Amino acid sequence: MASISIPQGASAQQVDQYYMPVNASVPNDATITWTNKDVAPHTATASDGSFDTGAINPGSTASAMVKGQGDIQYHCNIHPWMHGSLQVSS
């Protein structure tokens, strides 16, 4: 179980952090919960297709189970420049 926040203003291209923490260390098979604290909807979508939260509305949360190992990149489908990563341990 791990929690990642999407901070207010995250969809602006000039911000440093779209997801907090931007690089999260999680165990394999962990359920990750993303909390959208922004005023726009966002997703957390694995670049390898292994998970996709779908649209998370402002003030809402969504969860996904992470499988695999190593570095998994993910992004927001609505704002493709928003990116983060998970470091998955076995």
Query: Which residues are near Cu ion by CB under 5 A?
Result: 42, 76, 78-79, 82
Q: Which is nearer to Cu ion, 40 or 88 (CB)?
A: 40
User: Do residues 29 and 90 make contact, with C-beta atoms less than 8 angstroms apart?
Assistant: no
Q: How far is the CB of 67 from Cu ion (least distance, A)?
A: 23
* The length of the chain, given as a count of residues: 90
Measured from the CB of residue 17, what is the shortest distance to Cu ion in angstroms?
13
46 close to 76: Cβ distance less than 8 angstroms: no
Residue among 22 and 29 whose Cβ is closer to Cu ion: 22
